[in-house]
Structure 1
Amino acid sequence: MSFLQACLFDLDGVIVDTAKYHYLAWRRMANQLGFDLTVEENELLKGISRMESLEKILAIGGVKLDEATKLSLAAEKNSWYLELCQQMSPDDVLPGVREFVEELKTNQIRVGLGSASRNAVLILDRIAMLTYFETIVDGNRVTRGKPDPEIFLTGAADLDVLPASCVVFEDAMAGVQAAKAGGMKAVGVGDPVVLTEADVVIKGFEGLHVQDIKQLFVV
């Protein structure tokens, strides 16, 4: 029988809301290419890699580009995004997150990060949470993006725990699917109408306790 040994967290939309910065940067790029990117269209980019996001945006605009131009645009978008991230501070951590992670550590539950972002370390440093995570698995370490479970399976291996003893916190359907594909419990953070495949969905971390998460392992 499995029991809770580790929690793995996505970054964007779970620990901190950098989605607004991604949107502003992608929209700036779309505008540069002659079309707009709506808030609704931006939802399609949640939880996927930078190059996958770019492909979706180009499809929305009906724009075809060669590989070298795509790489150049992706790098330019990232530089705009990083400029915006420089504004971040510990105040940008979403409500209740820091307290919940501290409670996990007090209860000897291992803690890791699993994010498609290649800028995870920089962002965690800006919000003063870099030391909270025993492992950081980001877009620089894995080759397959969510919903492939590689990112979370790597995190479990780093922490030396079985996937069945891990709980993943995710705000994107692709992330929830990655957790389930890896044999882990998935806690959706956000809208239960969207995160239908999660084991349980929470609005946020305020008032959440370790005991609540341990209930996922009670048969």
Structure 2
Amino acid sequence: MIRLVIFDLDGVLTSTSVEHFAAWKKVVKDEFNIDIDDSVEEQTKGVSRMDSLERILESIGKETIPLIDKQRIANTKNEMYIKMIRKYNESNLFEGVIELFQFLKEKGIKIALGSASKNGPNIVKSLGIFKMIDYIVDPSENRGKPNPDIFLDAKNHYDLLSEECIGVEDAQAGINAINSAGMKSIGITKESVLFNFDYGYQEIKDIDYSIF
């Protein structure tokens, strides 16, 4: 019996990846006068801000810069990103999210947000679904994906067994994290090539409610 569903944010409930990568590209161009290759974007999905930066720096041969500079670059990127998503509202929510959330509520199944983004709470407020979410995992208190910590945090908050939980992700790091937590995984595959998930759907609106 499923008692908790843990959702990633970007690529699952809404799309902020364009803004994320645009902010990364601008800050790296300003800092190093180097253009990030578009192929790097996939490596930044589903992981923390600092992990994303490390992968970007490695791709341009700048991974050895001092930590203080890495932190400054990450903070500058976040400021740019926040400005970009201020316009977000309910219209940016993916089709099917409200209907799925309502179904889960009717069945008494808890809803958790398990995003690696520290901006998650503000984004779901802008999207108008904050009050429908029962628990938001604090990514700053957990190791980033593909470690299972974010999903285990939500499970432990409700003192549940792993088999009573399902995670929903669109990035391989997230799928790996769900699997490592011993939970069933739903892969949203419209924008990503994913492996090793239990259930796969193009978009959240395609999810078969019978799996719950």
Same fold (TM over 0.5): yes
Look up the SS of the partner of 2:140 in the other structure: coil
Q: Are 2:97 and 1:102 equivalent residues in the alignment?
A: no
Name the structure 1 match of 2:88. 88
1:170 Cα offset (Å): 0.2
Name the structure 2 match of 1:13. 11
**Could you list the runs of 4 or more consecutive aligned residues of structure 1 that deviate by over 6 angstroms after TM superposition?**
none
After TM superposition, the score normalised by the length of structure 1 is 0.91
1:13 Cα offset (Å): 0.7
After TM superposition, the score normalised by the length of structure 2 is 0.94
Look up the SS of the partner of 1:111 in the other structure: strand
Which of 157-166 and 16-25 deviates more?
157-166
**Quick one: which amino acid aligns to residue 150 of structure 2?**
I
Determine the C-alpha separation between the residues in 1 that align with 2:149 and 2:184: 15
Gaps of 5+ in 2: none
**Quick one: which amino acid aligns to residue 99 of structure 2?**
E
**Quick one: which amino acid aligns to residue 85 of structure 1?**
I
Name the structure 1 match of 2:159. 160
The structure-2 alpha-carbon separation of the partners of 1:145 and 1:204, relative to structure 1 and needing over 3 Å to count, comes to same
Name the structure 1 match of 2:20. 22
Q: Is the 2:190–2:203 Cα contact (8 Å) retained in structure 1?
A: no
Determine the C-alpha separation between the residues in 2 that align with 1:85 and 1:192: 20
Q: Are 2:69 and 1:69 equivalent residues in the alignment?
A: yes
Say how many residue pairs are matched: 210
Name the structure 2 match of 1:122. 122
1:140 Cα offset (Å): 2.6
Q: Is the 1:156–1:162 Cα contact (8 Å) retained in structure 2?
A: yes
Determine the C-alpha separation between the residues in 2 that align with 1:192 and 1:21: 15
Q: Is the 1:120–1:138 Cα contact (8 Å) retained in structure 2?
A: no
Determine the C-alpha separation between the residues in 1 that align with 2:88 and 2:77: 18
Identity %: 33
Gaps of 5+ in 1: 215-219
- Matching of residues 125-140 of structure 1 within 5 Å: 125-140=125-140
**Quick one: which amino acid aligns to residue 95 of structure 2?**
P
Determine the C-alpha separation between the residues in 2 that align with 1:23 and 1:106: 37
Name the structure 2 match of 1:189. 188
CA deviation digits over 1:108-140, x for unaligned, max 9? 111111111011111011111111111100323
The structure-2 alpha-carbon separation of the partners of 1:174 and 1:14, relative to structure 1 and needing over 3 Å to count, comes to same
